[in-house]
Structure formats: structure tokens, C-alpha cells
Amino acid sequence: MIDLVSAALDDDHQLDKFDCGAPSLNDWLVAQAYRAKESGTAKTYVWTRAASDQVIAYYAIAPHLVSRAEVSGGLAGGVSVIPSCLLARLALDGSVQGRGLGGQLLRDALERIVEAAAIGSGRLIVVDAVDDQAASFYRKFGFRPVKDNPQRLVHKIATVRKNLQG
């Protein structure tokens, strides 16, 4: 097993060698993650190996709103706009793919989102899968597609909280 450190992105982290195989995810990390941090639009968390600053995995989370029209009635909870958290990005470097770490990275992200929701509230976790394979990955963890968009998936924070505790 790899000894991993999970931390908020900072100036010491090395991003230049990160390659998950999806250019849009690689490019966002290098070109946008620091800008999102500075502007307050998203917070990026990274994984490194112990005693290294080279990023081998990351995810970004951001506050989000979902319209009631997008989701089924039970998820809306009687409101027209649903406070949510967007899991904006989630990626593993190719050097660590295929080891079952994707589920662990997702769990790390979900734990942070649940913790944030306990402080600031929120009803849903939203992901926009980059492709069908990613959508299938999220469905394995209980995420369900919204109406008319199979690659936008949601999960109730309350359910995730229960699953993490149990």
C-alpha cells in the first residue's frame, strides 16, 4: 500500500508531472486550481506520497445550487433551489490507477463535503462525470443521474453521512 498524504493544495505542491489520461482534468489542475483557490470558487485537495510534494491525485469541491426541475421530487425537499456541493473534479495520476484508490479518493472527498455541510448546510452532492466510464464509477457509489442528463449525478448528503458512519 502507498503511504498517502491528503491536504489542501498549496504553493509547495508539484503539479507539472500529473497525468490522469484526461487532458481536461490535467489542464484544470495546472492552469486553474490555484486561480479557483484564490478567487474562492473551488477548493482543491491533493494526495501526495509521504515525503513528496508531487501530486498523484486530486479533487476540487465548490458550493453549488441545483434547481428543483433538475431532480426528482424526493431529492428537492420542497424547495425550488437546492443548496449543494459540487465535486467539480476527481482524478488519479496514471501511475496509481488500477489499485482501487479511486474509491478511497472519492471517500476522502465525501468526508470533507459532509464535514462542510455540517457547518454550512447543503442537501446534495453533485458530480458532472467527464464520460460514461466516470458516470458508471459514481453510480457504483450511490450517485444517481438527474433528469435528462446521464452524466450529471447527485447523492443526498444525509445518505452519504449515514454511509460513512456505518
pLDDT tens, position by position, for the chain (166 residues)? Answer: 468 999 999 999 999 999 999 999 999 999 999 999 999 999 999 999 998 999 999 999 999 998 888 887 666 566 678 889 999 999 999 999 999 999 999 999 999 999 999 888 888 999 999 999 999 999 999 999 998 899 999 999 999 999 999 7
Phi, psi of 15, deg, nearest 5 = -110, -15
Instruction: Assign 3-class secondary structure to 102-140.
Output: HHHHHHHHHHHHHHHHHHHCCCEEEEECCCHHHHHHHHH
For residue 80, what pLDDT is reported? Answer: 76
Which of 83, 18, 86 shows the shortest CA–CA distance to 57?
A: 18
Cell triple for 100? 482501487
CA dist., res. 128 & res. 135, Å (int): 8
Give the cell for residue 91: 482524478
Query: What's the pLDDT score for residue 60?
Result: 97
Enumerate domains of the chain plus CATH numbers: 4-165 (3.40.630.30)
The cell for 126 is: 453533485
Catalytic center residues: 138
Q: What is the pLDDT of residue 75?
A: 66
Q: Within 10 Å of residue 19's Cβ, how many Cβ atoms?
A: 14
15 contacts 30 by C-beta, under 8 angstroms: yes
